[in-house]
Amino acid sequence: MKKRTVLLLLTAVFILTAAGCKSIQNAVKSRTPDINKAFTSEVLIKYNGAEAKGVITRYGTGIWDMEISEPESLAGLNISYGNNGITAELGELAFKIPIENVNTNAVFSAIFNSVDSAAGSAGMIYEQTDAGNTYTGENANGRYILVFNPQNNMLTGISIPDLGIEVEVLNVSELITDFENTVTEIRTPVEVSEVINDESGVIS
């Protein structure tokens, strides 16, 4: 059973570290609604024919949590992004990916980077569409598009066309947090190689 859990965790590592860029031409720019804040929301992520559901939480720039509820094979996987890298937990197992090994084109990294980039942007390309008020920007992942509800200025969608990522954002709630003073359960993650050594002895 533990070996199966390890395999699921390694699948998650592949999602996190594996995942294409075009430039934006001249257009009128506008500031986005204020998203440089802490919030939590449900998400439906579509990527190259695959789907995942879960809850994302943004505490600040580069500091995120993602808890996956679907697909069933990854249900319960919790991923935390911070300044030192990524920590992933599934059941009693946990491991970390150092910041220098994080692929910014990986699905979750690209999604979080798009919001963080928009939060720090002085202006993005603005357009009114049937989907809502759209703001287009560009970062290391290429072009990204954020969609906001015109009635309440809440984030409703994220698109990263160059990577084939589409995100439906539901039930956004703002958080009032003091992240530095938030007390949580402390669990020391282990390196991926250590998990494999303990379970199968594949890596010496």
Domains of the chain by start residue, with CATH: 2-199 (2.50.20.10)
The pLDDT of residue 1 is above 90: no
Each residue of 49-97: pLDDT tens digit? 899 999 999 999 999 999 999 999 889 999 999 888 899 898 888 888 8
Each residue of 92-116: pLDDT tens digit? 888 888 888 878 788 999 999 999 9
Q: Cα Rg for the chain, rounded, in angstroms?
A: 18
| Residue 197: predicted pLDDT | 32
* pLDDT category of residue 41 using cuts at 50, 70 and 90: very high
Rounded Cα–Cα distance for residues 85 and 190 (Å):
13
Task: Say which residue, 188 or 95, is predicted with more confidence.
Answer: 95
E-only strand ranges, 48-179: 50-60, 63-70, 78-82, 85-90, 93-98, 124-129, 132-139, 142-148, 155-160, 165-174
Q: Where are the alpha helices (DSSP H) in the chain?
A: 2-17, 107-119, 192-199
CA distances from 138 to 23, 59, 124, 159 (A): 7, 22, 9, 12
| Residue 54: predicted pLDDT | 96
The pairing of strands 93-98 and 190-191 is: parallel
Q: Give the dihedral sign, CA 197/65/104/72.
A: positive
Average pLDDT over the chain, rounded to whole? Answer: 77
Cβ 58 vs Cβ 112: under 8 Å? yes
Q: How many residues does the chain have?
A: 204
State pTM to two decimals.
0.74
Each residue of 114-135: pLDDT tens digit? 999 999 887 888 898 899 999 9
* pLDDT category of residue 198 using cuts at 50, 70 and 90: very low
| Residue 124: predicted pLDDT | 87
